[in-house]
Amino acid sequence: MDLTHPQSNLSLGFSSHTSPPHRTQIADESISLQLDSSLRDHTHPVPPVPLQLLELQSENHTVENGNLNGEDDDRDVEEFRILGHSMCLKRRRDSESSSSSSVTMKRVSVEPDLEVRRSSVRSWGDQPLRVADPDIYEIMEKEKQRQYNGIELIASENFVCRAVREALGSHLTNKYSEGLLLPGDRIMGLDTPSGGNTSHGYYTPNGRKVSGASIFFESLPYKVNPQTGYIDYDKLEERALDFRPKILICGGSSYPREWDYARFRQIADKCGAVLMCDMAQISGIIAAKECVNPFDYCDIVTSTTHKSLRGPRGGIIFYRKGGPHNNHIAALAIALKQVATSAYKAYMQQVKKNAKALASALLRRKCRLITGGTDNHLLLWDLRPLGLTGKYFEKVSEMCHITLNKIAICGDNGTIIPGGVRIGTPAMTSRGCLEADFETIAEFLFRAAQIANVAQREHGKLQKAVLKGLDSNKDIVELRTRVENFAAQFAMPGFDI
């Protein structure tokens, strides 16, 4: 018997005769299946053929679409559908298997394309990024090149090690909080132009609130002495006793000197405030025991984890309860394990040495630094004597592949037109830079300031057309080349170029 399917040109034959060469034969003692491979139509691909098999072993067999009666109880009955046809086959059982004729076998579904279907739904998990999303891959590659080719001087930036990156991308990637304040409660933090963070309740001189803290809470800033740049603790105490904040915040974004936590503790106790330290900028220095420890004095200590700690991006509230991401916990544990080593202490000591070397090099070039120097990892360069704004210098430096922050400094009228920049040493120290290297970096910075000064006088405000023209300015191109050649001497932690 031969059956032919008109759409696929497949033929099925049951025969005991010898098959022609162009036929494939699959046979046992009683059955042969023959597929005629000579019948092909390339315009109609052969579809997958589902094969359903039903084996019945009982004394009285009944099969739909078949002609089987009870007298054939010594034979197995097999029914299957192929190419839309239903068939019944009889096969002689041996005497041993006939003794178990009362057992009913399970229906089995056999799909030749099952693995293809499985593969199609799970293949996404094995795609590398360059295949899964070429656009994101290209962006990341460009960022990798930017980090490698440039000088990173943003005080809040750093590079993580390979182990931290592996933990962040590990299988561990497969909240709840309670507040101490009610809306309308009072807080006190360092004024942003004095070196505080905007998240500590800052609002502009005209009263515009610029952060959630200033919107939901009533805030009053304390300030630095405008002549010295140091925090005026006597005025701070006077204002705190009048204002009676519920939380008094020490710590900031751009204060280059030590914090007197003992004095903060005294003031907080006098006015009945909770003392909170935001140590995000100096957490690495604290961990290395290279400055006063706020944990000895403060009720709450908060920090980011990615700045001088060189951990994954995130935050810590000591002691926080909740369920953060496990991959971040693992990555942070790796970073904090490194923080506890003597090698990390040596790293933070070098960070401070490099900051002092950079400060000295700029001072020798007659640059004005807030407080005249630094005790930690950052310094504040007052650009106003040069006739520059922080925004202009930041943009020109970026074109030269030097990244740093514009920052409002003491004496600025708010944060709209910042008069300075904040410069930090942790990231380039992580790449292996020492004091002599920061002498070179100071030279680059001073040259960038000269270029920016000329550009600001000639072009005025930073508009798109001005920026486009500056990018090809011969002085900027020359300095950018020098910066790239310098940066290429230092390996990147965590990845290769």
Tell me the catalytic residues: 176, 178, 278, 304, 307, 313
Coil, strand, or helix at residue 447?
helix
Q: How many residues does the chain have?
A: 497
Coil, strand, or helix at residue 205?
coil
- Cβ–Cβ < 8 Å for 369, 383: no
Coil, strand, or helix at residue 212?
helix
Coil, strand, or helix at residue 230?
coil
- Cβ–Cβ < 8 Å for 457, 315: no
**10-13 vs 32-36, strand pairing mode:** antiparallel
Count of Cβ atoms closer than 10 Å to residue 162 Cβ: 12
Question: Does an H or E element contain 168, and which?
Answer: helix 162-168
What's the CA gap between 309 and 487, in Å, rounded?
Answer: 22
Question: The tokens of 134 are what?
Answer: 């070429």
Task: Dihedral sign for Cα 426, 429, 431, 437, please.
Answer: positive
Residues 6+ apart with CB under 8 A from 491: 431, 432
Backbone angles phi, psi at 304, to 5 degrees: -80, 170
**85-92 vs 75-82, strand pairing mode:** antiparallel
Question: The tokens of 248 are what?
Answer: 């008094």
What's the CA gap between 207 and 332, in Å, rounded?
Answer: 39
- Cβ–Cβ < 8 Å for 472, 400: no
What's the CA gap between 71 and 73, in Å, rounded?
Answer: 6
Question: The tokens of 289 are what?
Answer: 């025991």
- Cβ–Cβ < 8 Å for 155, 424: yes
Q: Is 23 left (phi over 0), alpha (psi -120 to 50) or beta?
A: beta
Residues 6+ apart with CB under 8 A from 221: 188, 189, 190, 191, 192, 194, 196, 200, 201, 202
Tell me the CB-side half-sphere exposure of residue 352, using CA atoms within 13 A. Answer: 19
What's the CA gap between 153 and 354, in Å, rounded?
Answer: 12
Amino acid of residue 166: E
What letters, b where the CB count within 10 A reaches 16 and e where it falls short, cover 111-130?
eeeeeeeeeeeeeeeeeeee
What's the CA gap between 7 and 40, in Å, rounded?
Answer: 10
Amino acid of residue 232: D
